[in-house]
């Protein structure tokens, strides 16, 4: 039977924590492997380490001496544990690097035919399938497809579109601002309409009028997402600037597109609306794809679903880009690609489009 520790003779030798610490430091620095650092740890801070011995003897000291030495031991232990941890991390990192280096692969060492063909074909995202279909419809109607940046300056997103700073209509566009340049000078585009401005400016600079283009892309609105709204979404914009273009061409284009994309029994109608960048402006609605115009819950019994906005290019916009509004007229329209997908495929909650669930993606 081992004698209980409290019967051992109290060792009154002073404990030199500084020297304990420096000894430990040297030992830790000398460890060259995970195994070695494990051993060092046991010897400098384990149950049988001098530090632990010193701690055990504390109980026999006078309260004042106990407190002073206790603090010293605590400090030494904290320092040693820190060093051990750091060294252990370093060694583990080295070990990982070594393992990684051992796992080196020469990627040019590829043997053709060594990778089996995939079990199943992948699927394009429903949004890009929808975008492709829409582009195809418009290309068939004589449009080109153009794209523009997602980060825009205030001028392209608002100013040139007849919304000078502080214009109340800006509140229609809940905007994400970026910490680039002066406050609110740079935004994530709230619509694809700024691409219109880029196209018109380029056309004016290069003598490239007329313009017949659609502009698909990603846009951003600072709003809480729900079943019908996403903060990050996709729009397609259309712009025609030519001689003799009228509202009749706009209404005709919308009608042809509607039927071509949604099917022969889906029609469109226009009603007055306000957009700062078009005048006259209209909202366009299409026959409800759920009830085919009979009236249902989705269309609030109206038989119609609002799809997008359109109108004749506002003369103020032409003025901003330097196009003579007496020589050229034009129309523009825009609507949500995700919304089209939602309508055509009867997707209850639009957020399904952002989940990337293969069980969803593989349906299309």
Partner 1 sequence: MRVPLSWLRDFAPFVGNPADLAAALDDLGLVVEEIEVVGEGLGDVVVARVDSVAAIEGADRIRLVVVDAGSGPVEVVCGAWNFEVGDLVPLAPVGATLPGGFEIGRRKMKGVVSNGMLCSGRELNLSADHEGILRLNEMENVSAGQPLTEALGIEADVIFDIAVEANRPDASSIAGVARDLAARLGLPFAIPDTSVLLGAAAPVVPRIGAPVGTLASVRVDDLELCPRFTATVLTGVEVAPSPAWLSRRLTLAGMRPINNVVDASNYVMLELGQPTHPYDLDGLGGHGLVIRRARPGEAITTLDGVPRSLGRPGPSLGDTGQDCLICDAEGTAVAIGGVMGGASSEIDDATSRVLLEAAYFVPMAIARTSKRLGLRTEASARFERGCDPAGIDLAAGRFCELLAQSAGDAMSVAAGVIDVQGDVPVPLSLTVRPAKVNALLGTEFTSSQIAEMLAPLGISAEPPDGAGDLPLVVTVPTYRPDIRPAPNGEADIAEEVARTYGYARLARRTPSWPQPGRLTIYQRDRRLLREVLCGLGASEAWTSTFVSEFDQVRAGFDAPYIEVTNPLVEAERFLRSSMAPGLLRAVIYNTDRRQDDVRLFEVGTVFRLPRTSAVDPDGGPSAEAPERLSAVFAARGDDAWTAVAAWRTIAEALGIADWAMTDCLPSSRDSAVLHPFRRASLSSIVTGPAGHNGGAGQSTEVGVIGELDPTTVGEFGLLEADGRPRPVGWLDLDIGTLLDRDLVPRRPEEARPITRFPSSDIDLAFVVADSVPAGGVERTLRRSGGELLESVELFDVYRGASVPEGSRSLAFRLRFCALDHTVTDQEVGELRTQCIGAVEREHQARLR
User: Among residue numbers 325 through 364, which ones bind partner 1 (CB under 8 A)?
Assistant: 325-326, 329, 353-359, 361-362
Residues contacting partner 1: total by CB under 8 A: 112
Q: Is the peptide bond before 280 cis (omega within 30 degrees of 0)?
A: yes
**x/- site string to partner 1, residues 223 to 262, per CB under 8 A?**
-x------xx-------x-x-xxxxxx-xxx-xx------
- Spatial separation of the C-alpha atoms in residues 196 and 239, rounded to whole Å: 7
Nearer to partner 1, 69 or 341 (CB): 341
Which residues ranging from 293 to 312 are in contact with partner 1 (CB under 8 A)?
312
Which SS3 state, helix, strand or coil, does residue 324 take? coil
CB of 59 to partner 1, least distance (A): 43
Nearer to partner 1, 13 or 326 (CB): 326
For residue 20, CA distances in Å to 25, 35, 36, 203, 323 come to 9, 22, 19, 79, 84
The answer to whether residue 120 forms part of the interface with partner 1 (CB under 8 A) is yes
Least Cα distance to 237 among 199, 286, 185, 289 occurs for 199
CB of 67 to partner 1, least distance (A): 43
Nearer to partner 1, 83 or 173 (CB): 173
The answer to whether residue 289 forms part of the interface with partner 1 (CB under 8 A) is no
Nearer to partner 1, 28 or 213 (CB): 213
- Spatial separation of the C-alpha atoms in residues 162 and 240, rounded to whole Å: 18
Nearer to partner 1, 4 or 118 (CB): 118
Category of 108 on φ-ψ map: left (φ > 0), alpha (ψ -120 to 50) or beta = alpha
CB of 234 to partner 1, least distance (A): 9
133 neighbors 261 (Cβ within 8 angstroms): yes
Contact residue for partner 1 among 1, 9, 64, 105 (CB under 8 A): 105
Stretch that binds partner 1, among 9-17, 20-28, 58-66, 272-280 (CB under 8 A): 272-280
CB of 26 to partner 1, least distance (A): 31
Q: Parallel, antiparallel, or unpaired for β 268-272 and 278-287?
A: antiparallel
- Spatial separation of the C-alpha atoms in residues 249 and 212, rounded to whole Å: 12
Which SS3 state, helix, strand or coil, does residue 140 take? helix
For residue 126, CA distances in Å to 85, 160, 266, 324, 341 come to 50, 33, 21, 40, 7
CB of 255 to partner 1, least distance (A): 6
Burial 150-173 (b: 16+ CB within 10 A, else e): eebbbebbbbbbbbeeeeeebeeb
Which residues ranging from 141 to 200 are in contact with partner 1 (CB under 8 A)?
141-145, 147, 149-151, 153-154, 164-169, 171-172, 176-186, 188
Contact residue for partner 1 among 111, 206, 297, 346 (CB under 8 A): 111
């Amino acid at each position: 039977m081992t004698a209980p520790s409290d019967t051992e003779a109290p060792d009154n030798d002073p404990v030199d924590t500084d020297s304990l610490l420096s000894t430990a430091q040297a030992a830790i620095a000398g460890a060259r492997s995970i195994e070695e650092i494990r051993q060092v740890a046991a010897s400098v801070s384990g149950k049988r380490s001098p530090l632990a011995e010193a701690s055990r003897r504390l109980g026999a000291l006078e309260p004042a001496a106990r407190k002073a030495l206790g603090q010293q031991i605590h400090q030494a232990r904290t320092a040693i544990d820190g060093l051990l941890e750091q060294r252990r991390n370093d060694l583990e990192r080295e070990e990982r690097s070594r393992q990684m280096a051992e796992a080196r692969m020469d990627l040019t060492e590829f043997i053709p035919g060594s990778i089996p063909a995939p079990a199943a074909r992948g699927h394009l995202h429903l949004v890009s399938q929808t975008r492709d279909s829409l582009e195809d419809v418009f290309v068939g109607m004589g449009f080109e497809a153009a794209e523009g940046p997602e980060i825009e300056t205030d001028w392209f997103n608002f100013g040139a579109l007849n919304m000078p700073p502080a214009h109340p209509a800006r509140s229609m566009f809940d905007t994400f601002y970026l910490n680039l340049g002066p406050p609110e000078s740079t935004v994530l585009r709230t619509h694809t309409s700024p691409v219109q401005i880029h196209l018109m400016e380029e056309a004016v600079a290069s003598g490239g009028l007329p313009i017949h283009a659609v502009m698909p892309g990603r846009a951003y609105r600072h709003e809480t997402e729900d079943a019908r709204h996403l903060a990050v979404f996709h729009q397609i914009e259309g712009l025609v600037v030519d001689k003799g273009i009228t509202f009749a061409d706009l209404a005709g284009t919308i009608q042809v597109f509607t039927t071509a994309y949604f099917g022969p029994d889906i029609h469109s109608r226009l009603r007055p609306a306000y957009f700062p960048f078009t005048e006259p402006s209209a909202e366009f609605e299409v026959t409800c794809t759920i009830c085919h115009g009979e009236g249902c819950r989705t269309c609030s019994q109206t038989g119609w679903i609002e799809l997008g906005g359109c109108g004749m290019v506002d003369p103020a916009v032409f003025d901003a880009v330097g196009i003579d509004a007496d020589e050229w007229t034009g129309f523009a329209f825009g609507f949500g690609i995700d919304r089209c997908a939602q309508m055509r495929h009867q997707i209850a909650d639009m957020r399904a489009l952002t989940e990337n669930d293969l069980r969803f993606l593989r349906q299309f």
